Amino acid sequence: MWDLEVAPKKLKEQFPDAILDVSSFQGEMTIVVKKEDILPICRFFYDDPDLAFDYLTDICGVDYPGREKRFEVVYHLYSMKRNKRLRIKASVGEAEAISTVESVWKAANWLEREVYDMLGVSFDGHSDLRRILTWEGYDGHPLRKDFPLRGEDFGHYEIPTELPDVVPTLPDEVEGERYMTLNMGPQHPATHGVLRLVLRLDGEVIADAVPYMGHLHRGVEKLAENMTYHQALVLTDRLDYTAGISNNLAYILAVEKLVGIEVPKRAQYIRVMLAEMQRLAAHLLWLATHALDMGAMTVLFYTFRERETVLDILEHVTGARLTPSFLRVGGLAADLPDGIEEKIKAFLDDFPRRIHEYETLLTKNIIWLKRTKDVGIISAEEVINWGLTGPVLRGSGVKWDVRKAFPYSSYDEFDFEIPIGEKGDVYDRYMVRLEEMRQSARIIRQALDRLPDGEVNCYDPKVAPPEKELVGKEINALIRHFKLMSEGISPPPGEVYASTENPKGELGWYLMSDGSNHPYRYHIRTPSFVNLAALPEMIKGHLVADVVAVIGSIDIVLGEIDR
């Protein structure tokens, strides 16, 4: 069994005085290093054949206003070979800059831009250090702790007389050649939300593409840092609004990891079942819009018919179709209602026939093949270097899934396959998602058949209120109830990263607790954000019509890109 302890040891040999601290919390190792050495250290971790941290999962920043070096940049690395995660931290002062790791992982490009935008940490040598979620010329950095939360705290606001160039576009003339700049979005039927793409066109061929986002930025991370842990749950539904329960699950898993509790088997199975139902709903919506973008509109109505059934079931269980917020720290809001098994079984019996129906319209349709085959190809190495996850990763032939790599919520007890593609084109991603729907249906059936009896909540005093009867009788139960209801839960100080396999890819939460009842840092690693970064690479040299196909095949949701 390979041990992660090797990593700091090897690092110490290579860089004797770079390591400032090595710690472990809930099985996650954190190495604090000097910021001057961050690039060579990352390069070392990436290159070393024994460690092979080929995957940059996330970069985020944390603000400590009291410290001498105010900011901490947190890198989450992952080694596919060793199936281990590693967290590296480096402190940066307010006037200082840290070296970019873009040369190691391309994924760093957008992630570092986000840190720069949100905290004002500057990155040395970054190829394109611009704001990403707020607009160019925005005043301040929202995730700094001294940035006001409410509008009334901002003080008087003067509209600047001279607006900065908030809508920069690409120049039409490059090295003597003339191009046409086409502004696609933010209001466009096929960008799946308020994504703005500035395309530089040579005829209809795309010479360059620059995405702009943030039109839907709501400051979720800032809001959550001022909420209790349970209050922050409702923000998660609204990230990837096509898969509310999946988001709930990722966040709740992070909180449970932070508190250190295990939920009962029955709750785990129901969570799996609901998350897979939600995956079906999300994939059905994806198929509908993807096909519609290509002009096949009938598929939309067929998939919405099944999505309706899925949402009906979810509504029956959770009481909501779009934003369930049904999971709780330590379990679920409620057990399954009566009569839901028959409903789900009826749906599962019907579903394979329905998928076949979609396939008859698309899979071997010559026009569909012409539109999707060999379009938007991204190779396995590229896909890993860009940090892409989910069906995009698997479409390129990398057999990796969080459900298999880090089985959460008892996923290891279910029998399912990970479908992969070969080339990594739009068609492969389409086939992967179709097969995933079949596998999801399999998982739901297994969960339903083997659903254990028992409670759906763990009654750990740290997170769960006492029984209602006791509250009326015993003073200590009353106090506990009151404390939990009014203050919420207070996890021990520490930091965790937990992730799930969302319909769109790996959705991860980096939660940091300072022991109080609200998270000190609540960072979301959203799959759409990371996946979208590779879009310009994928569409260069293709035609305008392919942009729509590729965006559809990446399957983005602006709610979670912009947060």
Q: Please give the residue ranges that form the binding site for another protein (CB under 8 A).
A: 180, 182-183, 188-190, 204, 291-298, 300-302, 305, 361-362, 365, 367-368, 370-371, 543-548
Q: Closest separation between CB of residue 350 and another protein, Å?
A: 14
In this structure, the dihedral spanned by the alpha carbons of residues 29, 32, 38 and 41, taken in order and rounded to 10 degrees, is: -50
* All residues at 6 or more sequence positions from 130 whose CB lies less than 8 Å from its CB, including other chains: 113, 136
- C-alpha distances (whole Å) from 490 to each of 236, 510, 514 are 19, 16, 9
The nearer residue to another protein, 15 or 302, going by C-beta atoms, is 302
Q: Closest separation between CB of residue 201 and another protein, Å?
A: 8
* Residues 117 and 92 sit within 8 Å (Cβ to Cβ): no
In DSSP terms, which residues pair with 83 in a beta bridge? none
Rg of the Cα trace of the chain?
24
Residue keyed to tokens 């990446």: 554
Q: Closest separation between CB of residue 544 and another protein, Å?
A: 5
Q: Where are the alpha helices (DSSP H) in 4-159?
A: 6-14, 38-47, 108-119
* Residues 111 and 530 sit within 8 Å (Cβ to Cβ): yes
**Letter string b/e over residues 545-557, b meaning 16 or more CB atoms within 10 A of that residue's CB:** ebbbbbbbbbbbb
The encoded tokens of residue 35 equal 């910021």
The nearer residue to another protein, 232 or 547, going by C-beta atoms, is 547
The nearer residue to another protein, 231 or 365, going by C-beta atoms, is 365
Phi, psi of 354 (to 5 degrees): -70, -45
Amino acid at 399: K
Which helix (H) or strand (E) segment is 271 a member of? helix 265-293
Q: Closest separation between CB of residue 558 and another protein, Å?
A: 17
The upper half-sphere exposure of residue 123, i.e. CA atoms within 13 Å in the direction of its Cβ, equals 30
The nearer residue to another protein, 83 or 298, going by C-beta atoms, is 298
* Residues 489 and 481 sit within 8 Å (Cβ to Cβ): no
The nearer residue to another protein, 207 or 300, going by C-beta atoms, is 300
Q: Closest separation between CB of residue 315 and another protein, Å?
A: 21
Give all strands of the β-sheet with 180-184 in edge-to-edge order. Answer: 180-184, 196-202, 205-212
* All residues at 6 or more sequence positions from 5 whose CB lies less than 8 Å from its CB, including other chains: none
Q: Closest separation between CB of residue 214 and another protein, Å?
A: 22
Q: Where are the alpha helices (DSSP H) in 74-226?
A: 108-119, 220-224
Q: Closest separation between CB of residue 189 and another protein, Å?
A: 6
Q: Closest separation between CB of residue 553 and another protein, Å?
A: 13
* Residues 561 and 213 sit within 8 Å (Cβ to Cβ): yes
Amino acid at 467: E
Label residue 29 left, alpha or beta by phi (over 0 means left) and psi (-120 to 50 means alpha): beta
The nearer residue to another protein, 190 or 253, going by C-beta atoms, is 190
Decide the pairing of beta strands 19-25 and 28-33.
Answer: antiparallel
Q: How far apart are the C-alpha atoms of 463 and 338, rounded to whole Å? A: 27
Q: Closest separation between CB of residue 301 and another protein, Å?
A: 4
Residue keyed to tokens 């509908």: 288
Q: Closest separation between CB of residue 429 and another protein, Å?
A: 16
Phi, psi of 86 (to 5 degrees): -145, 140
Q: Closest separation between CB of residue 40 and another protein, Å?
A: 45
Q: Closest separation between CB of residue 353 and another protein, Å?
A: 14
**Alpha carbon 556 to chain centroid distance?**
11
Q: How far apart are the C-alpha atoms of 201 and 181, rounded to whole Å? A: 6
Q: Closest separation between CB of residue 157 and another protein, Å?
A: 32
The nearer residue to another protein, 56 or 288, going by C-beta atoms, is 288
In DSSP terms, which residues pair with 455 in a beta bridge? none
The nearer residue to another protein, 111 or 426, going by C-beta atoms, is 426
**Letter string b/e over residues 131-148, b meaning 16 or more CB atoms within 10 A of that residue's CB:** bbbbbeeeeebbbbeebe
